[in-house]
Amino acid sequence: PPTTNEAPPPLSGKKRRIAVLTSGGDSPGMNGAVRAVVRMAIHYGCEAYCVYEGYDGLVQGVRWPLSKEAFFGLVLLHTIEHVLSVSRIKEAHWEDVRGFLSEGGTLIGTARCMPFMERPGRLTAAKHLIIKGIDALVVVGGDGSLTGADKFRAEWPSLLEELVQKKELTPEEVKPFQHLNIVGLVGSIDNDLSMTDATIGCYSSLARICEAVDSVDTTATSHQRAFVIEVMGRHCGWLALMAGVSTGADFIFIPESPPGEDWQDEMCTIIKKHRSMGKRKTIVIVAEGAHDQQLNPIKPSAVKDLLTKKAGLDTRVTTLGHVQRGGTPAAYDRMLATLQGVEAVKAVLDATPDTPSPVICMIENKIVRRPLLEAVAQTKEVAKAIDAKNFDKAMELRDAEFHEYYRAYQITTATEQPELMLPEDKRMRIGLIHVGAPAGGMNAATRAAVAYCLARGHTPVALHNGFPGLIRHHSDKPLGSVRDISWLEAESWASKGGSEIGTNRGLPSEDLETIASVFTTYKIQGLFVVGGFEAFTAVSELRKGREHYKAFKIPMVVLPATISNNVPGTEYSIGSDTCLNALITYCDACRQSASASRRRVFVIETQGGESGYIATIAGLSIGALAVYTPEDGVNLKMLDRDIDHLRDVFLQDKGQNRAGKIILVNEKASKTYTVQIIADMIAEAGKGKFESRHGVPGHFQQGTTPSPMDRVRAVRFAVKSLQHLEQFAGMSKSEIDDDDQSCVVIGIKGAKVLFSSMEKVEKKETDWKLRRPKDEFWMGLKDVVDTLSGRPKVVKHA
Ligand code: ATP
């Protein structure tokens, strides 16, 4: 989860009217954006409007203004409410967007609107906006929708002139509307807009695809079959690439980087090689817009024929189609949509007449504003480059993240790449170890590390069952805890939860000497540690142990992997996204169970240790009424105020509160106020008005299958970590010891992926007592949760 621009926007004297619409293809998470825009606008004292059915709603407006006679005529026929409901541009109140966050698609409708493509359509749209007094428009849609938005803004002054000239509106009527603020939010499953790493909906869609591929996987393995799976993406291969990375597909076809001239042979060679190494299944992923170097389409049926005839495989085709667009939004999309919606309202309020229209983007973990015009133009350049067969340029125009994923996919998939092999003296024996509790993505990281090592000529050495495994190994009864690991062994781990090489919380300090001796015996020259706070602590101990043990003077990288996301040196740990998805599934189910009885408050305990991260971000993703964290603690005043708030909410309830309310409580937020006690207090206070239940999802939060985000980031970070380690090949022990980059933690900080020196992070950024970073980047997001749930200001623990 990203940091947002913290500064509150300046509020001008005039009460603004901000409208939001969704346009183009629907994508999961659009509703979250609408909810955030509406509530944030109201929070800032503006009036919020929803435009129904995309640009169609703007063009059709109300069929409004009706003449007085027509209006009363209609009222005679229907109720006033019915007449008002004819309007496609309606004021939205706080309660109107209740329950939006967890709904897929778009509840305010979307459309492909042909009239808006032409000036007369846009002229009518402008007139309707002015009649409604709206001077700011937030458009949630794909590149087409944003192109339309930009055109609309550029034409706005001339549209006003034309409206006056045609006497549709008077100069006085148009005068207050000289500037239309437009803000774009990218809602698209394709993730095809330049300048942003993620669009609202892309990770939900990827989750749908991965579920399907994982399911196909089991039957493919059983029958030793090949499956060719077509996924969406006409000009953008993001979904196909990410699906390939997260499922460990054997071959992918994406429009930006078509395969070489003899791709038929290339594909069959790779696939036959995988089979000869013992793989029982084959998965090929084809983007909808895949083509060869000459732009001839590559269709799944052609790939199937090749695999059948040339590779002799029993092959089937699966076309996923619209399944990919549907379903409930993933945790990340709910959070992204919420934070971008909040930022969109801030951008409207910050805008001056000279501010170019922004589109709200996400770079790694940071919400940023980028010029809409440039983002759209750059996006179109990609399609142009593809049409011109300039594929290098097409890849260049995609963001750096796309590039890295593509490289990571290639390195970890194709088996024979002689050009990647390092000379003998640069090859290393690299130890791979898991520490702490299992977290989604640990296996994907290890699989990628193994594949990378083998591609470069290194030897991957699995150190089983954490540091205690090593200590036991060297005692009287060796348990085979140290083993070279083969490609085939790790091959099937891409989507596996848990820890295949075994993990343990034990620390090296239990017996540094034995561990040093194991490292020496097995000639470990580099160490890749995957795990949470214990992994961080373990590497810190090894680093300090360098003083006494030469064996530890080797390069080491920690890849943070924990559901708690409490490792210093990063804002994101693999496994945390899987946990958030498990939690929102649990909360959605609780909520839904309340829909029969209504007026029920669920008090749910989350994990997270001394860090309130999981509770807060889950709160943001489900629209929790309140979140209790260890950072703030829980006190009576806080509870009292929240119970009062609940009373107000249920008092004003006119039937909208069908689903239950949720309060999330981190496991360490309070020793006294457990979830059961809080639920009892609420039930007692709500007698006759509302009831309460508590729930403890416990280890359910570790999830089953890792989320695609955890899988793809695990692969990318593992490859980066190994690249970091191999830089130290051939260096002397003292050179390694002197280099503070020889012992690092890899992580995301704001808009960057960085290796931070362990020594610095240990000293400056770590709260050792509370086992979390001193400065928790997400703390500001608690206010967003509270604001969007309408919670009164929190009283902090004394
Ligand atoms: P998706 O990613 O699902 O394709 P999109 O926003 O790109 O979403 P489009 O069908 O391209 O979907 O565009 C949606 C609507 O935006 C169009 O129906 C039209 O009303 C408007 N629009 C698109 N392009 C333009 C344009 N060049 N000028 C004016 N309006 C446009």
The residue-averaged pLDDT of 277-284 equals 90
Cα of 173 from ligand 1 centre, angstroms: 29
Residue among 26, 106, 145 to mutate when testing ligand 1 (max atoms within 8 A of CB):
145
pLDDT for residue 381 is more than 70: yes
E strand or H helix that includes residue 692: strand 691-695
The residue-averaged pLDDT of 290-310 equals 94
pLDDT category of residue 1 using cuts at 50, 70 and 90: very low
Q: Is the dihedral of CA 216, 218, 220, 223 positive or negative?
A: negative
> Pick from 792, 789, 791, 793: which is nearest to 99 by CA?
789
pLDDT for residue 471 is more than 60: yes
The residue-averaged pLDDT of 532-558 equals 97
* 3 state SS for 622-684: HCCCEEECCCCCCCHHHHHHHHHHHHHHHHCCCCCCCCCEEEEEECCCCCCCCHHHHHHHHHH
pLDDT category of residue 321 using cuts at 50, 70 and 90: confident
What is the pLDDT, as a whole number, of residue 792? 81
Tokens representing residue 494 in the block: 């891409």
pLDDT for residue 2 is more than 50: no
Q: Which residue has the higher pLDDT, 221 or 238?
A: 238
Residues near ligand 1 (Cβ within 6 A): 23-25, 55, 112-113, 116-117, 141-145, 147-148, 151, 188, 190
pLDDT category of residue 703 using cuts at 50, 70 and 90: confident
Give the nearest ligand 1 atom to 56 CA. 20
The residue-averaged pLDDT of 598-607 equals 91
Q: Is the dihedral of CA 133, 139, 145, 151 positive or negative?
A: positive
> Pick from 338, 331, 329, 332: which is nearest to 4 by CA?
338
Q: What is the pLDDT of residues 15-58, one digit of tens each?
A: 799 999 999 999 999 999 999 999 999 999 999 999 999 999 99
CB atoms within 10 A of CB 154: 13
The residue-averaged pLDDT of 690-710 equals 92
Lowest mean pLDDT among 66-80, 86-100, 556-570, 627-641: 66-80
Helix (H, G, I), strand (E, B) or coil at 312: coil
Lowest mean pLDDT among 115-119, 462-466, 597-601, 644-648: 597-601
* Alpha carbon nearest to ligand 1 atom 26, residue: 148
What is the pLDDT, as a whole number, of residue 71? 59
Residue among 23, 123, 192 to mutate when testing ligand 1 (max atoms within 8 A of CB):
23
The residue-averaged pLDDT of 725-748 equals 96
pLDDT category of residue 478 using cuts at 50, 70 and 90: low
ipTM attached to this prediction = 0.96
What are the residues whose beta carbons fall under 8 Å from the beta carbon of 323, sequence distance 6 or more? 208, 212
pLDDT category of residue 687 using cuts at 50, 70 and 90: confident
Q: How far apart are CA 482 and CA 480, in angstroms?
A: 6
Cα of 147 from ligand 1 centre, angstroms: 7
Looking at the annotation, which residues are catalytic? 190
What is the pLDDT, as a whole number, of residue 601? 92
pLDDT for residue 3 is more than 90: no
* Alpha carbon nearest to ligand 1 atom 23, residue: 144
What are the residues whose beta carbons fall under 8 Å from the beta carbon of 580, sequence distance 6 or more? 331, 332, 335, 614, 617, 618, 621
pLDDT category of residue 10 using cuts at 50, 70 and 90: very low
pLDDT for residue 290 is more than 60: yes
CB atoms within 10 A of CB 28: 31
The residue-averaged pLDDT of 201-225 equals 89
Mean pLDDT rounded to a whole number for the chain: 90
Helix (H, G, I), strand (E, B) or coil at 371: strand
Cα of 92 from ligand 1 centre, angstroms: 24
What is the pLDDT, as a whole number, of residue 660? 81
Cα of 25 from ligand 1 centre, angstroms: 9
Radius of gyration of the chain (CA): 28
* Alpha carbon nearest to ligand 1 atom 16, residue: 145
Lowest mean pLDDT among 67-71, 627-631, 744-748: 67-71
What is the pLDDT, as a whole number, of residue 492? 85
Q: How far apart are CA 251 and CA 264, in angstroms?
A: 11
> Pick from 575, 577, 520: which is nearest to 551 by CA?
520
Give the nearest ligand 1 atom to 142 CA. 6
What is the pLDDT, as a whole number, of residue 75? 60
What is the pLDDT, as a whole number, of residue 7? 43
Q: Which residue has the higher pLDDT, 655 or 256?
A: 256
The residue-averaged pLDDT of 242-259 equals 94
Maximum mean pLDDT: which of 222-226, 605-609, 646-650: 605-609
List, edge to edge, every strand of the sheet that includes 661-666: 626-628, 661-666, 600-606, 691-695
Maximum mean pLDDT: which of 221-235, 468-482, 561-575: 561-575
Amino acid letter at 619? G
Identify any residues that bridge with 224 across adjacent strands, giving them in sequence order: none
Binding residues: 25, 112-113, 142-145, 188-190, 225, 232-234, 288, 316, 322-325, 505, 562-566, 600, 607-609, 667, 693, 699-702, 771
Q: How many helices (H) and strands (E) does the chain have?
A: 28, 25
The residue-averaged pLDDT of 568-576 equals 95
Owner of token pair 């020594």: 759
The residue-averaged pLDDT of 260-267 equals 90
Q: How far apart are CA 243 and CA 233, in angstroms?
A: 12
What is the pLDDT, as a whole number, of residue 80? 57
Cα of 141 from ligand 1 centre, angstroms: 8
Binding residues for substrate: 188-190, 225, 232-234, 288, 316, 322-325
Cα of 321 from ligand 1 centre, angstroms: 20
pLDDT for residue 657 is more than 70: no
pLDDT for residue 718 is more than 80: yes
What is the pLDDT, as a whole number, of residue 26? 92
Lowest mean pLDDT among 65-79, 189-203, 365-379, 689-703: 65-79
Give the nearest ligand 1 atom to 141 CA. 6
**Eight-class DSSP state of 356:** P
